[in-house]
Structures are given as structure tokens and as C-alpha cells.
Chain A
Amino acid sequence: MTDIIDRLEFFLADRGIYMLALILFAVGIYGMIACGNYMKKIMCMNIMQVSIIFFFLTFGQKEGGTLPIALENIFSAEAYINPVPHALMLTAIVVSLGTTGVGLALLMKIKDIYGTIEEEEITGKGGK
């Protein structure tokens, strides 16, 4: 019994955070498929994108690492965390902002044309 608890603890400490990212990703994709409301679809899309940002930041983290700014008394590279994943994710955040903006603009136009953003009502009106 204690063996199982030990292994579970090890698993959660080692991989638990990745599982969290995976769950977020799955929630996002499920919502994008299952929600009938286009606004909710966009929100789920954002959840999915955040999960990927989360994933990158997680593997960019290091125990005992400090900010990647050169300090006077620390010389070894091991003491600093890798700044590249964070820099990449800044770009990814900008991209996700752009996609969300385009999505919202499209929703406004869809609302103008069909008067609704519920998928069922739109397909009922012949928008396939």
C-alpha cells in the first residue's frame, strides 16, 4: 500500500504538472467540438492555447534556477533557467490574441447576418 502511495507521489511530483496541461488541452478541444455557442467555442479555443503555453513554460522551468539575467556572483549556466521557452510563448500569446480578435470580429459579422451565434439556429437558417 505504501509502495503505491510512494509511486503515486513520485508520479505526481514528476509528471503531475504535465497531466494538468493535458487535461486543460483535452477540456479545450472537447469544448470546441461540443459547445453549440460560438462565443463558448472561442473561449474553449483560448483554454486550449493556454494549455500549450503552460506546457512550454513547465518544461522551461528548473529547480533552483534563477532569472536569466547575469548576476555578479553566479557564473555557471546551470544556475539560470532557459529563457527561450518564455520568449517563444510571448510570441504564442500574441498569436493567440490575434486569433481571438479575428474570431470576435467574425462573430460580430455572423451576428449581423444571421442575428444569432448559436450553431443550431444558424444551420437551421441554411448556413452550412
Chain B
Amino acid sequence: MNQIAQHLPVLIILFPLCATLLCPLISHFSPDWGKRSVISALFLSVVCAVWQLVIVVSSGESIHYFLGGWKPPIGIEFAVDNVNAVIILLVAVISWTTSLFSSPFEKKERTRSLYSAGYYSMLAFLAVGLLGMSTTGDAFNLYVFMEITAISGYGLIAVGEEKGPIASFRYLMTGTIGASMYLLGVGFLYASTGTLNMADLADKMPQLTDSPLIIIAVACLIVGFGIKMALFPLHGWQPAAHSYAHPGADPMIAGIMIKIPAYAMLRFFYCIFIEDSKVMQLFFAALGVMAVLGVLFGSLKALRYDTYNKILAYSSIGQVGYIAMGFAIGNVYGLIGAVLHIVSHAFMKAGLFYTSGALKYRYGIHETTYLGQVYRKMPVTSLTMVVCALSMIGLPPFAGFFSKWYLALGAIQKGQYIFVAVLILSSLLGAIYFFRIIEKLFMEREKISDEENNMRTEKKGKELPWQMLVPLIVVVAAVILIGLFNAYIAGDVLKPVITEVFLK
């Protein structure tokens, strides 16, 4: 057992990677087993991620895994601490539930083995990229995983609805600029320090801080990560990509594909640069402005739309603004709020996109005007929608309230009251557009007649196939449990690492 436990950081990534490569081969003989291989590989990752989290939290020490036995400045290092382990578990859980969720879709569409093989390979590959981005401790390795994420993401967006290829192409253009900017930033850092390992970079940075080269590098990195996480002025690709992606894979794309770059940004900046240097002051200022504008822009823009997916996509821009706000606050509570918001928003947004996918699966609709009386036919979906929407607004027992609470605490502690004002204002705006959806769900007259309903569902009487119900239940449970146990998560799991590693 100990032998396996040593290799956990790499095993979590290796299972989906193997599934990516094997899935096309297995699908050639049997599409069903190809699909199952991906689902089971991702399930093994979930098990390993839970195990790793337990080990890291109980021992209180971070795991350092050296690939090929090469020690850090030369080799690539995987570093896992409490914050990391939580994020890895989050990615693994959402990837697994998404792979389960999308399995009924292709029965309805095309049953060709090529389609199924390609789709599941890309899904597993997306999971590889995201898990790698949250594990790695090497700046260039992060670039490679970022591109793995992006390339599989382009594919999953393109196989979606009719406008998918255009949205995907635009994302490809913007995403490549983002990745190139990141690479340029890493190039400047490498040229001035001669190392790519993040811990080593942190050691060598104090002598160099405030040199113009480092300031240019930071600017490039902010643009690079900003494009990948759809931070306000750099969000152009995001609404179309999130609305037109494949409805089965959308929860993963919208839920975690923009959160993990945010996490990488946190790790990159807070681990490498010292807090009171000139560079970090610039970083705080730039991110603060982008965050405030992004939160307001996202919330206001979401009010304008009637399409469910568009509302969710624009609200994501606002929510990424909250995370950036946590980085800009930059004290213990601010960072706890940011990390907790990465986790809770990933579950909430994935949950909302699960409901969107479920509606699409059963009725083929995206417009909120057709939601009338849907709660009678789809009780579990409606429950998920209500729980996630209330959590997004930030009502108490749910996860969303507590992450906003920590952000507000951090802002008050640092005396930046404008952040508190923006937080409250945008929560109120969020209440408007989410209550509009909830109102339509319960009050509106029924638009979808029963005949149409029977025509579109394969089995009447049943709400959804079990593969789609499991993700919905997992998400609701996660949103409620994170809310209830937030004191433990924030105080015992996140706080020690954040005070020691990020704010040293």
C-alpha cells in the first residue's frame, strides 16, 4: 500500500491519460467499453485524489514527487499541499461526474464508434490537462498542460451545437495568444533566473525584484492567465464557447476550465513573488480594477439575456471577477475566499450546466421562457437548479455564501470598502437574474405540451437516466456540504498552507 501511496500524484494523472490513449482502440471493437474505460479511469482518479487529500491533511506535510527521480532544479517536480489536494479532488470529481453525465447523449445523437471514441478521449484528455495544471511545480510543464487543456477544449466545443466550430475557432485564436503570452513571461523569468522550477524561482526572485524585465514578465503572465480564466477585458471568447459547447461536456468546460488557470495564477504569483515588492503592488492594482469591472460587467450583461446558457456564461465572468478580487485583496481571508470560491463556484456552475444539459436532453430547449412548470416533470433537476442558483446569489446555508463572506471579511480587514460594495451590489444583481429563472420555473404557464414531451422522451414517466441523476445529486450534496463544513475547510485545511506558503 505504501508503495502505491508514494506515487499518488502521478497516478491521478496517469489513469485518465491511459484511458485517453486506449479509448479509441477499445471503441473500435466496442464503443460501450471504450466509454466505460474512461468513466472507470476517472473514478480511479477520484479514489486516488481522496486518498491523497487524506494523506496530505493528516500528515500536514506537502508531497514532493520527482518525475524520473531527477531532483528539482533539473527535473520536473509535482508538488501537492492542502490547497492543491482540494483542487485536484474537485477536478477529479467533476470530470468523473461529467463523463457519466454525457453518456446518454450520444445514444440520442450518432452511435458511430468514431464519434464516441473521439468524444471520450477528449474528455479524459481535458481531465489530464486540468489535473496536471493543478499538480505541477514547474513553469514550463504548466504551459504544456495548459495547451493540453486548451486543445481538448477546442475539440469539445466544436462538436457541440451548430455554432460550435466558430466559437471554438475564436477560442483557439484567443487561447493561443494567451498561451503564447504565458510562454513569453516564462521566457523572461527563465532568462533572468536560469530556472523553471517554481520553488527555485521563488528562491532566486528577491535579488531581482523590481527589475524592468520582471515587470514585463508579470504583465505577460497577467494577460496570459487572464485570457485563459476569462477575466473581464480578456473574456471575449468565453460566452460563445460556453453556450455552444457540447451539452454533455459543458459542465466541465464552464465549471473548471476557467477556474484552474485562476488557481495556477494564485500559485504562480503568491509563491514566486514577495508580497511587498513593487511587482506585486502592480499586480494587486491591475487585478483589483479588472475584478471590479468584471464583476459589474458580468452581472449587468447577464440581465440582458433570455437564453439559459448565455445567462450562466455571463455570470461566470462576474464570478471569475470575485476570484480575482480575492487575489487583489491578498490577505489570509481574501485568499481563503478566493480558493473557496474556486471550489464552490466550480460545483455551482457545473450544477447549473448539468441542469441545462438535462433540459437540452429531455426537451431540446435553452430558452428560459419554456421553463414553465418544468418542476412537475423534472423534480431533481429543478431542485439542483434552485440550490445552485441560491448558492450563486449567496444565501446562507450554501457554499456560495461563505466564499463571499470570507472575501468580504478580507476586504474589510484591509480597508478596501469598494470591494465590499461591489460584492453586495453584484449579489443583488445576481438575485435579479436567478430569481427570474426560478420564477419562470414555478410560476410561468406551461409551454411544452404533453404530446411534444412524449415524442421527445424515450421513456416517459422517468425523469432522466440514472447516469444523469448521479451528477445532479453529487453536485447538490457538494454545495450543501461545503457550506456546512466551511469552517473546517477554511480553518483547518486551507489556512495553514495559505499563511505558510502563499503569504510567507
> How distant is A97 from chain B, measured CB to nearest CB, in Å?
11
Query: Is the Cβ of A59 less than 8 Å from the Cβ of B173?
Result: no
Interface stretch of the complex, out of B55-63, B159-167, B300-308, B416-424: B159-167
A110–B165 alpha-carbon span in the complex (Å): 6
B177 at the interface (CB under 8 A from A): yes
Partner of A52 from the list B147, B155, B180 (CB cut-off 8 Å) is B180
Instruction: Answer whether A109 and B240 are a contact pair too, CB < 8 Å, given A88-B140, A92-B183, A103-B172.
Output: no
Query: Is the Cβ of A41 less than 8 Å from the Cβ of B183?
Result: no
* Interface residues of chain B: helix, strand, loop or mixed (majority): helix
A27–B155 alpha-carbon span in the complex (Å): 28
Query: Is the Cβ of B147 less than 8 Å from the Cβ of A98?
Result: yes
Instruction: Answer whether A41 and B173 are a contact pair too, CB < 8 Å, given A110-B165, A127-B163.
Output: yes
Total residues of chain B contacting the partner, CB 8 A? 28
Set of chain B residues within 8 Å of A38, measured between Cβ atoms: 169
Set of chain B residues within 8 Å of A92, measured between Cβ atoms: 143, 183
Residues of A62-112 at the interface with B, using a CB-CB cut-off of 8 Å, are: 84-85, 88, 91-92, 95, 98-99, 102-103, 105-107, 109-110
**For chains A and B in complex, what number of residue pairs have CB atoms within 8 angstroms?**
68
Interface stretch of the complex, out of B184-192, B266-274, B467-475: B184-192
Query: Is the Cβ of A56 less than 8 Å from the Cβ of B187?
Result: yes
Set of chain B residues within 8 Å of A113, measured between Cβ atoms: 162, 165
> How distant is B169 from chain A, measured CB to nearest CB, in Å?
5
> How distant is B59 from chain A, measured CB to nearest CB, in Å?
34
A17 at the interface (CB under 8 A from B): no
- The contact string, 1 if C-beta is below 8 Å from chain A, for chain B 128-162, is 00000000000010011001001100110010001
Residues of A112-128 at the interface with B, using a CB-CB cut-off of 8 Å, are: 113, 122, 127-128
Residues of A17-42 at the interface with B, using a CB-CB cut-off of 8 Å, are: 25, 29, 32, 38, 41
A87–B163 alpha-carbon span in the complex (Å): 38
Query: Is the Cβ of A106 less than 8 Å from the Cβ of B190?
Result: no
Residues of B174-201 at the interface with A, using a CB-CB cut-off of 8 Å, are: 176-177, 179-180, 183-184, 187, 190-191, 196
A59–B192 alpha-carbon span in the complex (Å): 10
Set of chain A residues within 8 Å of B177, measured between Cβ atoms: 29, 32, 48
B427 at the interface (CB under 8 A from A): no
Set of chain A residues within 8 Å of B154, measured between Cβ atoms: 102, 106
Query: Is the Cβ of A110 less than 8 Å from the Cβ of B180?
Result: no
Using C-beta atoms within 8 Å of the partner chain, give the interface range for chain A: 20 to 34
Query: Is the Cβ of A107 less than 8 Å from the Cβ of B169?
Result: yes
* Interface residues of chain A: helix, strand, loop or mixed (majority): helix
Partner of B180 from the list A48, A91, A107 (CB cut-off 8 Å) is A48
Q: Most B CB atoms within 10 A — which of A38, A91, A106?
A: A106
Instruction: Answer whether A110 and B173 are a contact pair too, CB < 8 Å, given A59-B187, A98-B151, A99-B147.
Output: no
Instruction: Answer whether A49 and B169 are a contact pair too, CB < 8 Å, given A95-B144, A102-B154, A128-B240.
Output: no
> How distant is A32 from chain B, measured CB to nearest CB, in Å?
6
Q: Most B CB atoms within 10 A — which of A56, A99, A110?
A: A99
> How distant is A41 from chain B, measured CB to nearest CB, in Å?
6
A121–B151 alpha-carbon span in the complex (Å): 26
> How distant is A3 from chain B, measured CB to nearest CB, in Å?
25
B168 at the interface (CB under 8 A from A): yes
Q: Which 8 A-B pairs have the closest CB atoms?
A: A109-B165, A95-B147, A59-B191, A106-B169, A110-B165, A127-B166, A102-B154, A106-B165
Q: Assuming A41-B173, A59-B187, what are 11 further A-B pairs, CB within 8 angstroms?
A: A45-B176, A52-B184, A84-B196, A92-B183, A95-B147, A98-B151, A99-B172, A106-B154, A106-B169, A128-B166, A128-B240
Could you list which residues of chain A lie within 8 angstroms of chain B, going by C-beta atoms? Answer: 25, 29, 32, 38, 41, 45, 48-49, 52, 55-56, 59, 84-85, 88, 91-92, 95, 98-99, 102-103, 105-107, 109-110, 113, 122, 127-128
For this complex, 16 residue pairs linking A to B, each with C-beta atoms less than 8 Å apart, are: A25-B184, A48-B176, A48-B180, A52-B183, A55-B184, A59-B191, A85-B190, A91-B140, A92-B143, A105-B158, A106-B158, A106-B172, A113-B162, A122-B166, A127-B163, A128-B163
Could you list which residues of chain B lie within 8 angstroms of chain A, going by C-beta atoms? Answer: 140, 143-144, 147, 150-151, 154-155, 158, 162-163, 165-166, 168-169, 172-173, 176-177, 179-180, 183-184, 187, 190-191, 196, 240
